[in-house]
Amino acid sequence: MSFTLLDMSSENFEFYVNVWHWKAGVEIIRSLDVLSEGSLKQMGYNATGVKVSRDDAHEIGSRIRAEILPKVPAGSRMFADLSITDAPDDMTLHRDHDDQWKNYSVDHEWLTEFSDFCLRSKGFQVF
């Protein structure tokens, strides 16, 4: 499953993300306390079209740069539970319920690209 974030400006920038990254991304956004719980829940399902305003998108992008990226240096990853590891993703699919959180993470590069998208956007919708 994948998600497409579509910029709401006339330029129609798009940001594509797989579920493995997006689930961690949504939890990072949740930790910033910018969006309502209802919006965050909708963001967890693709094709909902939930909208993120320009101001909220810019705040998310700015705060990821200021608060999250310094914690996630190049070569490391942040999991959906906000813990950080420098172990590379070995692509193991963790099926045990207690280990499924290990399936969802984002690295420094993804966070940089996502924050850039947020800051360039005029708000976005999640599909």
Q: Which helix (H) or strand (E) holds 17?
A: strand 14-18
Q: Residue 106 corresponds to which amino acid?
A: V
**C-alpha–C-alpha distance, residues 38 and 41, integer Å:** 5
pTM: predicted TM-score of the whole model, two decimal places = 0.92
Of all helices (H) and strands (E), which one includes residue 78? strand 77-79
Any residues with CB less than 8 A from the CB of 61 and at least 6 apart, and which? Answer: 114, 115, 116, 117, 118, 119
Span 15-47, pLDDT tens digits: 999 999 999 999 999 999 999 999 999 999 988
What is the DSSP-derived secondary structure letter of residue 89? P
74-122: pLDDT as tens digits: 999 999 999 999 988 877 777 877 777 777 899 999 999 999 999 999 9
Q: How far is CA 27 from CA 9, 10, 11, 12, 13, in A?
A: 25, 29, 28, 25, 23
CB 108 within 8 A of CB 74: yes
Note whether 34 and 60 are within 8 A (CB).
yes
